[in-house]
Amino acid sequence: MSTLKNQIEEYFAAGASAVDDPSAMAAFEELRSALESGEIRAAEPDPDSPAGWHVNAWVKQGILLGFRLGRLEASGDELPFVDKHTYPVRRWTPEDSVRVVPGGSSVRAGAYLAKGIVCMPPMYVNTGAYVDEGTMIDSHALVGSCAQVGKRVHLSAASQLGGVLEPVNANPVILEDDVLVGGNCGVYEGTIVRTRAVLAAGTILTRGTPVYDVVNGTVLRAAADSPLIIPEGAVVVPGSRAIQKGRAAEWGLSVYTPVIVKYRDEKTELSAALEDLLR
């Protein structure tokens, strides 16, 4: 992949001069194919990194290159749409072992879906995303560009994983294995959710919102050089914290904050057992 990496970086740096270059399109198509097969990823596990993940900035450059090279094209049969010809909707066969239930779902070219994934309508997976085996993407769920989703994750109805392409070195949203995301949750701005964590319905995670861990008596925050990280097995629920200053304090106002109320135990496992019956 080192040769492809060098080509992508070269054509990305060339700007508009690469638009009509057939070799640039060939390099992009090779990248897109490798993304769809899971051979390369926008981010990958890295035990030597403080966050446990490494961002492949050149892959994001290649995805952006695809938009630069693409031209608007009409496509689709029963549901026509217009988009860059470099990013058509992915087509599936029974041999892919991916269930895409009828009802308005789509997966953009350049996204990887492993075997055993269930897609309930309507849902959407954007380019550059990586979704691993046994995951369920429920109705109205969104997997944003370059988001990384582990094995046996459940994205409940209306949950959203934010996408990020720029800056190219920015951390994408990452859910590790066996994470349970409740309905109407939002995970944004490069947040990492560790293995077996549970996000209760309505939980929102961003770089700017501190997470209060009442079990350990700590406050989790993103830093300038690191994302917000939810610990392994944490159970996070929507909460609030009182505003201590100014007129808001006089009025008794509070603002939203996520709260870690416990860590996953046998009771939590039992409450999640229904997921196996839905797959």
Q: How confident is the model at residue 272, as a pLDDT?
A: 64
- State yes or no: pLDDT of 173 exceeds 60: yes
Q: How confident is the model at residue 273, as a pLDDT?
A: 61
Q: How many domains does the chain have?
A: 1
Confirm if 76 and 86 have CB atoms less than 8 A apart: no
Distance CA 178, CA 23 (A): 41
**Average predicted confidence (pLDDT) for the chain:** 93
- State yes or no: pLDDT of 7 exceeds 70: yes
- State yes or no: pLDDT of 229 exceeds 80: yes
List pLDDT tens digits, range 188-199.
Answer: 999 999 999 999
Torsional class of 202: left (φ above 0), alpha (ψ -120 to 50), beta (otherwise)? left
Q: How confident is the model at residue 80, as a pLDDT?
A: 76
Q: Is residue 58 situated within a structural domain?
A: yes
Q: CATH no. for residue 183?
A: 2.160.10.10
* Domain extent at residue 118: 2-273
List pLDDT tens digits, range 103-129.
Answer: 889 999 999 999 999 999 999 999 999
Share of the chain above pLDDT 70, in %: 95
Confirm if 188 and 71 have CB atoms less than 8 A apart: no
Q: What is the mean pLDDT of residues 35-51?
A: 96
- State yes or no: pLDDT of 1 exceeds 80: no
Classify burial at 107, counting beta carbons within 10 Å of its beta carbon; exposed 0-12, middle 13-18, buried 19 or more.
Answer: buried
Q: Is residue 279 situated within a structural domain?
A: no
Q: How confident is the model at residue 271, as a pLDDT?
A: 63
- State yes or no: pLDDT of 152 exceeds 70: yes
Q: What is the largest CA-CA distance in the chain?
A: 65
Confirm if 165 and 146 have CB atoms less than 8 A apart: yes
Query: Following DSSP, what letter does each residue of 194-255 receive, concatenated?
Result: -TT-EE-TT-EE-TTS-EEETTTTEEE--BTTB--EEPTTEEEEEEEEE--SHHHHHTT-EE
- Sequence-separated (6 or more) residues with CB below 8 Å from residue 85: 70, 71, 72, 73, 75
Pairing mode, if any, of strands 53-55 and 43-45?
Answer: antiparallel
What are the residue ranges of helices labelled H in the chain? 2-14, 22-37, 57-69, 246-250, 266-272, 274-278
Q: Is residue 246 situated within a structural domain?
A: yes
